[in-house]
Amino acid sequence: MTKEKTKKRGRPSNAELKRRKEEAEKDTIIKWIVLIGFILISGILIQNLRADQIVHKFKNPSFSGIATSSHWLTIENQEFNRKEAIKIEIKAYREQLERDKENTTLAKFLRNLESRIYAQLSRQLVDNLFGENSSTSGVIELLGNTIQYTLDEVTGMITLIITDSDGNTTSITLPIGSFTF
């Protein structure tokens, strides 16, 4: 037969009681160590988990009232700058249109024609004043302006009286014989 351990029945021995008591004390110490370790670890983790109240704040100062005056000034400044930029753009566009009108072929032709007409009128006036068959007086009407000239043969002076469309007059006196080049 084989030897089998048989359980003893009855009261345990003092050594067995002492061993059980030591095991129970070890179990209690282990339970306390685990409990203290758990408390320490959870305390460390909780330190990192700090919560605060969730507070809603409007970002727009028009709603919150914080820095409202500077917000309004900023908006007013932006509106002013936009209006000024639009005015400058409109002015530049109008100036560009004026330049474009002045640079058309018809405008160039009219300026050239006007220049030649004025040159011809000037030549005729000089011929009437200083030419071989010069006249002693005359009146020219030009674009609402009146040019009146008179020759005083005694003093040798020519007097030009220019009257503009508003009635303002300018008088010029020229000596005849002192023009030499």
Does residue 180 have a pLDDT over 70?
Answer: no
Q: Do 118 and 90 have their domain in common? A: no
Does residue 44 have a pLDDT over 60?
Answer: yes
Tell which of 102, 129, 153 closes a domain.
102
* CB crowding 141-153: b at 16 or more within 10 Å, else e: eeeeeebebebee
Q: How far apart are CA 160 and CA 126, in angstroms?
A: 12
Global pTM exceeds 0.85: no
Q: Is 128 part of a structural domain of the chain?
A: yes
Q: How far apart are CA 56 and CA 144, in angstroms?
A: 77
Q: Which domain holds residue 134?
A: 105-175
Q: Is 165 part of a structural domain of the chain?
A: yes
Does residue 155 have a pLDDT over 90?
Answer: no
Q: Is 58 part of a structural domain of the chain?
A: no
Contacts of 67 (CB under 8 A, 6+ apart): 61
Closest CA to 136 of 150, 116, 122: 150
Q: Is 146 part of a structural domain of the chain?
A: yes
Greater pLDDT, 149 or 10: 149
Q: What is the DSSP letter of 155?
A: T
- As a dihedral over the C-alpha atoms of residue 57, residue 62, residue 68, residue 69, rounded to 10 degrees, the angle is 170
**In the chain, pLDDT over 70 holds for what percent of residues?**
85
